Structure 1
């Protein structure tokens, strides 16, 4: 299981890094164009939006795997016994359930995009809409990995690097 999580984590990190590099490149072209040339290419606006969507698509699953996704644990972690573990398990199960419910709609949304193109870049919009499908799929995979790791005892579902903790 840990090997699978490592592969998934490496894939998500690579996707996040590539999306962030594209975002940095597009914004740099915009800034240089506006500052020194007087205008920037129109396609940089679209590319920036698309890169942000893919950044969220890859980064959300990565954040869930590492425990860096927003978590409200003030109440749950103060509960006695195994209750914090149970609530973390329930949370992962609910995330997986919601993702499973939404993946079908995201698939249809992505398929509709094949009939449209972006105005400036002329990219089929299914590639852009696919970022929503990617987000849900990666979040579902991360939640499933967390569930399996917790049920097998490989993890307790807590964030990997809590502030103030030393290893």
Structure 2
């Protein structure tokens, strides 16, 4: 069981890192194209601004899970970590479980939002907006999965729930 959890966690981390890197690469390329167009080196390209915004959404979709996993998200734990054991562990478990429940409970609404996008088209790029709205669905799925893996790891005793204790980040 512990091996399966670690394999799932590492696999999700690998996919999220690659997707985040690709989204960041798209942002870099689109911004360079914008700069070249504004400086007169090339003709101005209308779709570069829109592509930058859409790539940012996908960057967040995969990067949020990595942030939760590594502890890079905003976290206020001065009070919680000052409590006597086992309260900090319990609060970290509760926080991870609440994150998972919240993320997974919003998945149906995100799927509905994505389906609405099938009837819309991005003005400059001309692609269906469901591909862009899917980023909300992916964000919730990744956050919920990372939080669930943390809960399972804590209950199995393989981790204490502290993001900074993950050696494989």
TM range (shorter): over 0.9
**Residue in 2 that maps onto 1:30:** 34
Q: TM-score, normalised by structure 1?
A: 0.93
Where in structure 1 are there 5+ consecutive unaligned residues? 163-167
Where in structure 2 are there 5+ consecutive unaligned residues? none
1:18 equivalent in alignment to 2:22: yes
Q: TM-score, normalised by structure 2?
A: 0.92
1:79 equivalent in alignment to 2:83: yes
**Residue in 2 that maps onto 1:48:** 52
CA distance in 1, matches of 2:10, 2:94: 23
CA distance in 1, matches of 2:92, 2:43: 50
Deviation at 1:119, TM superposition (A): 0.1
Q: 2:133 aligns with which of 109, 129, 132?
A: 129
CA distance in 2, matches of 1:27, 1:161: 36
Deviation at 1:161, TM superposition (A): 6.3
CA RMSD after TM alignment? 1.4
**Residue in 2 that maps onto 1:66:** 70
Q: Deviations over 1:83-129 (max 9, x none)?
A: 11110100001111111221100000000101110000001000000
CA distance in 2, matches of 1:11, 1:142: 12
Q: 1:142 aligns with which of 129, 142, 146?
A: 146
Q: 1:107 aligns with which of 107, 111, 124?
A: 111
Q: Report the number of matched residues.
A: 162
Deviation at 1:40, TM superposition (A): 2.6
Q: Deviations over 1:16-55 (max 9, x none)?
A: 0000000111011111211233763110011000000000
